[in-house]
A and B are shown apart, each in its own frame.
Chain A
Amino acid sequence: MLRNGLTLGATATLAALMGTTALSAQEEETITIGGLATLEGPFAAPGEDGLRGVELAIEEFGGEIAGHPIEMITASSDGNPDVALESARRLVEQDGADIMIGPLSGSEGIRIAQYAKEQPGTTFLNGGSAAIETTLVDPAENFFRFNTEGAQWTAPLGEYVVNERGWDNIVIVSEDYSFPYAQIFGFMATYCEAGGTVQDKYFTPVGNNDYSSVIAQLPLETGEVDGMYVVLGGSDAVNFLSQYAQMGGQLPIVGGTNVTDQTVLTTQGPARELLPGILSSGPVSDNADLEAWQEFVQRYQDYFGDEGLPSPSLFASNYYTNTKAALLALQEVEGDLSNDHEALNEALSNLEFTSPTGPVSLNENRQATAAIYINEVVEQADGSLALEPLERIEEVDQYLGLGREAYMELGLPSRDNPSCPS
């Protein structure tokens, strides 16, 4: 009996080993999609919602493409690029993922795009990460980003606050890593152009929870300074806003995309008082009257019910969009992964489709061009907070409409670049 069990086990192992090599010639081979998101650390809730997006897209295609069953495997990171790389290696090199969807955070994305170059036999699609460099600096041939990035998200907002709100002098409070740099970069590109100045920028480490020393240096009400641009995410945003409110701060706020994400909008306590009225911009607007968006929200709510968020987050939307792109391209090539995914990668490069936030296409760097919303946080009838669209800007491209040459002259974002002092 024991011997039988052993033989059986050995056979199964052998079969599993053969599965990855011998069966690849057959038609109905399973296609494995590896989902990578932050299921630990401060971005755990966004990561969880991101993977819901992947699941939802696969379910939409009935779990198979051209007879190939689609299998989803997942791995976790915590926002740290090294951890993300380790998890990606496991998915690709040990678990044999054919297509990777992920990661979530900015600096992780830069690292994974570098890793993609070492793995030409795997197709990488971004998840939610939105640093500029990922698809700008020496982009990998097999890394595709069907979501727009941090600078694209905020570019329309800079101009808007100057023209519509009449602001021309602000202070900036931001976390100190690649994604907030991108958000400041996009914002300032149009803000400075429109005649605005930035009096000061305050950078704090990610996960800092006592902001009082920064707040002590900020104006509490309008005067010389018209407003404050806050680029913080998750608990950082909650901590900063509640402490600023506790100190009696009343400066009008424009937010980076994450400040108005559902993970922050669902918070309680003093921070909540400051949230209604905050302007922000990004690819998603909770109350957009776009048919594709409403369909997506409906499908999300039907499929996940109480398990999910009341409304899909930015991250669910971005992960869903990237996964759907992969599945549409797979459908087009009927699951043909031969020759290092040549046909699939070609199909992805030329793919255009309607995402939950409208039409999306890629440029020569395999970076998405899509619409961006300018939003205002409003209180709904049921007391919850949501993003109300003020304006929709179509086809914001990677170069923010400046053209490649002019854009490249701006240099790469950092703490000091750009700057437009008074």
Chain B
Amino acid sequence: MEALLDINWRLFAIVTLNGLTLASLYFIVASGFSLIFGLMRVVNMAHGSLYLLGAYIGFEVSEATGSWLLGIAAAAVVVGAAGAALQVSILSWMQGQDLRQALATIGVSIVAADLMLAQWGGSAYQITLPGAVSSFVPVPVAGRYAMARLMLIGFALVIGIGLWLMLNRTRVGMLIRAGVDDRRMLEALGVNVPLVFVGVFAIGAGLAGVAGVIGGSVLSVSPGEDARYLLSSLIVVIVGGMGSIPGAAIGALLVAMAETYGLAYTPTYGIVYTFAIMVAVLAVRPQGLLGRAA
């Protein structure tokens, strides 16, 4: 009996850490998604494709150069540019038409998925982590835990705090917040709003790209991941509140915890919990936990 209790606590600690690390990954992907939505009201259905593209680029670059950090940087830059291009070439033509933009991005995601399948094939890749983080660290109760996964939590904290500082403490952040509140007034004040839009799109897409490399290192990259992370981002922001970065953090935590505890303790119903949370939030607080009423 004593041994049983002992094992259960260890498992519980590990599962909790797993939930936290998965939440970190979900947060990084969803924060970009939420940022774009918050300012432009664009539901970017190609966000998952940007994640997958980032992962593949990170794989190619880190394979070629042997440097994982270069892979992250390349993914952030290239995917950020791809996001900006998406905004300039397609979405800017239908600014303000939410539904049309959502449909256009679905189209983009389908084309992108096929192009990436043609280029990288159907098999799964894994991005090699630097030796320094592919080790274990002793953790109380859990025994030991993979450094790479703990690093994920650190990444999410850095990105979360960075985003918060940028939005609340810088001029760019002020512009973005002003744009969220009153786009026309901002334009009247002489700010080049379309340029701000492109910039925000690039940041949001770049975050997806970075998340792709991290996800591709800790987990793996294969076709179909695009739809998976788009779905998780959607659920996270629906739960947390569209356009809110702290909301994305809370949403990611709830969704990832439900998923991991579900898989560990009741494997059959893991997916049900996620949607149950979404349904509950929609029923009680349709704008999301930290979302503002439209």
* A271-308 residues at the B interface, CB under 8 angstroms: 271
- Whether A205 contacts B123 in the complex (CB less than 8 A), given A239-B220, A246-B134, comes out as no
* B247-294 residues at the A interface, CB under 8 angstroms: 259-260, 263-264, 267-268, 270-271
Tell me whether B14 and A42 are in contact (CB under 8 A).
no
B189-229: CB near A (< 8 Å → 1, else 0) gives: 00000000000000000000000000000011011110010
**Which residue, of B15, B126, B259, has the highest number of chain A Cβ atoms within 10 A?**
B126
Cα A264 to Cα B122 in complex, Å, equals 11
Which bracket fits the contact residues of B? 35 or more
Tell me whether B264 and A213 are in contact (CB under 8 A).
yes
Segment with Cβ contacts to B, from A44-52, A64-72, A108-116, A134-142: A44-52
Shortest CB distance B156–A (Å): 15
B111-123: CB near A (< 8 Å → 1, else 0) gives: 0000001000111
Which residues from A are CB-within-8-Å of B14? 212-213, 216
The answer to whether B41 has its CB under 8 Å from any CB of chain A is: no
Tell me whether A203 and B267 are in contact (CB under 8 A).
yes
Shortest CB distance B127–A (Å): 8
Cα A122 to Cα B247 in complex, Å, equals 55
The answer to whether B136 has its CB under 8 Å from any CB of chain A is: yes
The answer to whether A209 has its CB under 8 Å from any CB of chain B is: yes
The answer to whether A204 has its CB under 8 Å from any CB of chain B is: yes
- Whether A269 contacts B122 in the complex (CB less than 8 A), given A42-B222, A209-B225, comes out as no
- Whether A210 contacts B146 in the complex (CB less than 8 A), given A204-B263, A204-B267, A268-B126, comes out as no
**Contacting A269 at CB < 8 Å: which of B128, B136, B149, B225?**
B128
Cα A243 to Cα B263 in complex, Å, equals 16
Shortest CB distance A314–B (Å): 14
Shortest CB distance B13–A (Å): 9
**Which residue, of B127, B136, B264, has the highest number of chain A Cβ atoms within 10 A?**
B264
Shortest CB distance A80–B (Å): 12
Q: Find the A residue at minimum CB distance from B267.
A: A203
Shortest CB distance A363–B (Å): 33
The answer to whether B148 has its CB under 8 Å from any CB of chain A is: yes
Shortest CB distance B166–A (Å): 29
Cα A202 to Cα B267 in complex, Å, equals 8
Tell me whether B122 and A210 are in contact (CB under 8 A).
no
Tell me whether B222 and A234 are in contact (CB under 8 A).
yes
Which residues from B are CB-within-8-Å of A41? 223-224
**Contacting B124 at CB < 8 Å: which of A40, A239, A246, A247?**
A239
The answer to whether B22 has its CB under 8 Å from any CB of chain A is: yes
Which residues from A are CB-within-8-Å of B128? 268-269
Tell me whether A267 and B263 are in contact (CB under 8 A).
no
Cα A205 to Cα B272 in complex, Å, equals 12
The answer to whether B155 has its CB under 8 Å from any CB of chain A is: no
Which residues from A are CB-within-8-Å of B260? 210, 212-213
Tell me whether B18 and A210 are in contact (CB under 8 A).
yes
Which residues from A are CB-within-8-Å of B22? 210
B13-56: CB near A (< 8 Å → 1, else 0) gives: 01100100110000000000000000000000000000000000
Which residues from B are CB-within-8-Å of A46? 122
- Whether A48 contacts B122 in the complex (CB less than 8 A), given A207-B228, A213-B260, A246-B148, comes out as yes
A244-267: CB near B (< 8 Å → 1, else 0) gives: 001110000000000000011011
Cα A45 to Cα B222 in complex, Å, equals 11
Tell me whether A45 and B122 are in contact (CB under 8 A).
yes
**Contacting B122 at CB < 8 Å: which of A44, A246, A268?**
A44
* A327-382 residues at the B interface, CB under 8 angstroms: none
Shortest CB distance B113–A (Å): 8
Which residues from B are CB-within-8-Å of A43? 122
Cα A203 to Cα B268 in complex, Å, equals 8
Which residues from A are CB-within-8-Å of B123? 45, 234-235, 238, 263-264, 266-267
Shortest CB distance A208–B (Å): 7
The answer to whether A242 has its CB under 8 Å from any CB of chain B is: yes
Cα A270 to Cα B10 in complex, Å, equals 25
Which residues from B are CB-within-8-Å of A216? 10-11, 14-15, 18, 264
Q: Using A268-B126, A269-B126 as known contacts, list a sample of 5 further A-B pairs with CB atoms less than 8 Å apart, ordered by residue number in A.
A: A40-B117, A41-B223, A44-B117, A210-B219, A214-B264
Query: Can you report 7 residue pairs joining A to B where beta carbons are below 8 Å apart?
Result: A45-B121, A45-B122, A176-B267, A209-B219, A213-B15, A242-B126, A271-B126
Please list the residues of chain B having a beta carbon within 8 angstroms of any beta carbon in chain A: 10-11, 14-15, 18, 21-22, 117, 121-128, 134, 136, 146, 148-149, 219-220, 222-225, 228, 259-260, 263-264, 267-268, 270-271
List the 3 closest pairs (A to B, CB-CB), nearest first.
A45-B122, A269-B126, A44-B122
